Amino acid sequence: MIIDGKKVALELREKIKARLARHPHLKITLATVSVGDDPASKVYVGMQHRTAEAAGLYPEHIQLAAGTSQKQLEEQIEQLAQDDKVHGIILQLPLPDPLDKDAALAKIPPNKDIDGQTDVNMGRLLQGRKQLVPCTPLGVMRLIEAYNIETSGRTAVVVGRSAVVGLPQFLLLSEKGVDATVTVAHSRTRDLAELCKSADILVSAIGSPALITEAYVKPGAMVFDVGVTETPSGIQGDVDFDAVSKIAGGVTPMPGGTGPMTVACLLENTLLAAQLQNALPS
Ligand code: NAP
Q: Are strands 29-35 and 88-91 parallel, antiparallel or unpaired?
A: parallel
pLDDT score for 38? 85
Say if ligand 1 is within 6 A of residue 201 CB. no
What contacts 192, CB < 8 A, 6 or more positions away?
Answer: 159, 185, 216
Q: Per-residue pLDDT averaged across 65-90, rounded?
A: 97
As beta bridge partners, residue 36 has: none
pLDDT digits (tens, 9 = 90+) for 203-241: 999 999 999 999 999 999 999 999 999 999 899 999 999
Say if ligand 1 is within 6 A of residue 207 CB. yes
Say if ligand 1 is within 6 A of residue 110 CB. no
pLDDT digits (tens, 9 = 90+) for 50-59: 999 999 999 9
Residues 232, 162: Cα–Cα separation, whole Å: 26
| Torsion (CA) 122, 125, 127, 130 in degrees, nearest 10 | 120
Say if ligand 1 is within 6 A of residue 208 CB. yes
pLDDT class of 37 with cuts at 50, 70, 90: confident
Of all atoms in ligand 1, which is nearest to the CA of residue 206?
A: 7
Say if ligand 1 is within 6 A of residue 160 CB. yes
Q: Are strands 222-225 and 250-251 parallel, antiparallel or unpaired?
A: parallel
Go through the domains of the chain in sequence order and give each one's CATH number: 24-110 (3.40.50.10860), 135-259 (3.40.50.720)
User: Which of 136, 157, 226, 229 to probe ligand 1 with, by most ligand atoms within 8 A of CB?
Assistant: 226
